[in-house]
Amino acid sequence: MEVIFLGTNGWYDTKTGNTTCVLVESKDHLIILDAGNGIHKVDQYDKGQKPVSLFLSHFHLDHIAGLHILNKFNFKCGLQIFGPVGTTTILNDIVNEPFTVPLSQLPFKVEIKELPEGTHNIPFLVECKYLFHSSKCLGYRFQLDGKIITYCPDTGICENAITLARNADLLIAECSFKKGQRDREWPHLNPEDAVAIANGAGAKKLALVHFDADVYRSLEERIQMQKEARMIFKNLVVSFDNMQFKV
Ligand SMILES: [Zn+2]
Ligand SMILES: [Zn+2]
């Protein structure tokens, strides 16, 4: 299974990258995690042979701004969009006139499915739980090709993140802040928090994404952080746009 980071910035696009979007290619599915501006690169990987599923965590714009790019694609096997309860109403409002091409007029079939907290077979198994953020944000745990991949985007440190990441082969966690930084009003992770979740959960590998564009102003700052964070979690990588690895 391949994991490809299409957008790795939090908040806004800069020379370091696009806002958050991660692609997971399993044997039978293309899975997109969040629809930040990085989503425009998806067609480099879509050969039209696998159904595409998009999982939205929440509706802060750095996670959905790329929805207006959907009409660029031609997903031959259709697109299913999964998200928290309320997703249908929100998407019908914003992926519509006067903002962009309406979902019903996209050149492929779109289905929206709301996921309450719990485990769902869609047909692969996905467990979702609310994380700790200023707006309701779902984290996801996927079972694909015999592996577990957990995605914990915008969140402060919380039990649900640890539960979702238990024994994961890969935990993809946000890392908006630098060492020691916290914000009580608008919770996000710093590297130590992300490592605490990975360690608490017994995750095998930790990939960091969603670097706040205002905090990490260059890729060198991510690499410097990686060097320090690897002292407390050896199997940690910071992501960059277009980075790809096998799980
Ligand atoms: Zn965000
Ligand atoms: Zn957010």
| Ligand in closest contact with the CA of 212 | 1
Query: Would you state the pLDDT for residue 184?
Result: 82
Q: Identify any residues that bridge with 148 across adjacent strands, giving them in sequence order.
A: 143
pTM, entire model:
0.98
Distance 60 CA to ligand 2 centre (A): 5
- Single-letter amino acid code for the residue at 132: F
- Going from the Cα of 223 to the center of ligand 2, the distance in angstroms, rounded, reads 24
Separation of alpha carbons 189 and 211, rounded Å: 10
CA–centroid distance, 10 to ligand 2, in Å, is 9
Distance 10 CA to ligand 1 centre (A): 5
Taking the C-alpha atoms of residue 238 and residue 207, their distance in angstroms, rounded to an integer, is: 6
Find the ligand nearest to 187 CA: 2
CA–centroid distance, 60 to ligand 1, in Å, is 6
- Closest by CA position to 206, among listed 3, 9, 39: 3
Show pLDDT as tens, one digit a residue, over the chain (247 residues): 999 999 999 999 999 999 999 999 999 999 999 999 999 999 999 998 999 999 999 999 999 999 999 999 999 999 999 999 999 999 999 999 999 999 999 999 999 999 999 999 999 999 999 999 999 999 999 999 999 999 999 999 999 999 999 999 999 999 999 999 998 888 999 999 999 999 999 999 999 999 999 999 999 999 999 999 999 999 999 999 999 999 9
Cβ-Cβ contacts under 8 Å for 61 (sequence gap 6 or more) = none
Q: 235 C-alpha to center of ligand 1: Å?
A: 24
